A = this chain, B = another copy of it.
Amino acid sequence: MSLPAETRRPLRIAFVGGGQTSWIGGMHRRAAELDGLWQVVGGVFSSKADRSREAAIAMGLDASRGYPDVATMLAVERSRADGIDAVAVMGPNDTHYPAVAAALDAGLDVMLDKPVSTTAAEARDLAARSRANDQIVAVTHAFSAYPMTRHARHLIATGAIGSVRMLQVEYIQNGTAIPVQPDAMTDRDRWRFDAGRSGLALVFSAIGCHAQHLACSVAGLTVAAVSADAGAIVPNREVIDTMLANLRFTGGARGQFLVTQAAAGGENDIRLRIYGERGLIEWSHQNASYLRLQLEGGGTHLIGRSDPGLPAEILGLARTPRGHPEGMLEAFANIYRETALAITARRADRPITDTTFPTIHDGVHSMAFVEACLASSANQGVWTNLS
């Protein structure tokens, strides 16, 4: 928990979305501050000025830093000596793109919750803006920042199972399993079940992009084409709650993908299995601190977070001794930490050594993926290339 020598202070960040009653807001704040590298100082917690101000107070922040809109926040913060270094964007899906674009244009770095945008075109635009000024748009795909998913990536990258032949990934959730009657809808329900606001496919925006990113990140592969079936398994629903797809990766490996928010009885269960020419690797969110490696003729290994002998960069992703559970918070915090170190390095003109955390470039791939899935699904399941 030492501060980087370059700053001797935590980086300052403000939220767009994520007020005090939002669990994802609490997650971002705790993750940001867990290692002392970031300090949350304000945000746009509501589009109503007084509510945003009240939220700031309740969160122990300076009341004046509870802003009513992004433009105001960026303008005021720029004028402060202790103004923000970055913005964390986590509101409704259709608010992501304009907030990130404005923050980038204001010269700030961005922590961005998924989905990165509502179309691939928007995502490409954000990527272009960030690249122009060498800014970072980190995406908080926490699943790929668990020590054990990172180690799976390491094992595959270093050839532990040979070249990848196939993978399976799934994200099973009950978030929309039970239909919500119109008069019982919350604000969040209203934008989620409005296809115009939630994006191309609700289930993909909500959870599916996590699964797709995890698979690509761990396998070190990009999807080339899909043969997909997207729709609602809950009767009389207009938004897409379930997506199934067969995948073909660049290089030829096959894949199978299933995400649903309509799994009555489900939790937040994400599983990944990767098949290589010499063995397979399996990881499940329910048992996030362990990784199963089965080698052909070489036995089954259960690898635990912080096992002795793991690479230093994997061991460094944990904060407690072996055997003590860590959770999603620490995985989330890993992305905040890596981004802070990258920002600090850039400011000091040092090379950014760790480029593992997800960025807007991963987000571009996710949006191209969902667009191809929807096109295939609308076209009899025909194999469809990613744009």
Tell me the A residues contacting B by CB distance below 8 Å: 1-3, 9-10, 20, 23, 26-27, 29-30, 33-34, 36, 58-60, 161-162, 165-166, 168, 170, 172-174, 177-178, 227-229, 231, 233-234, 242, 244-246, 248, 253-254, 256, 258, 260, 262-269, 273, 275-280, 285-289, 292-304, 307-309, 319-330, 376, 380-383
Contact = CB atoms under 8 A, between A and B. Distances in A.
Given A178-B296, A300-B304, A265 B319 contact: no
A294 B276 contact: no
B303 A301 contact: no
A266 B280 CA distance: 7
Listed residue (A231, A246, A260, A325) with the most chain B CB atoms within 10 angstroms of its CB: A325
B324 A326 contact: no
Contacts of A23: 319-321
Given A2-B59, A20-B2, A256-B244, A267 B323 contact: yes
Nearest to A275: B263
Contacts of A173: 323
A280 B296 contact: no
Given A10-B60, A168-B258, A1 B27 contact: no
Given A26-B1, A381-B381, A267 B322 contact: yes
Contacts of A26: 1, 319
Contact of A166 (B242, B267, B292, B380): B242
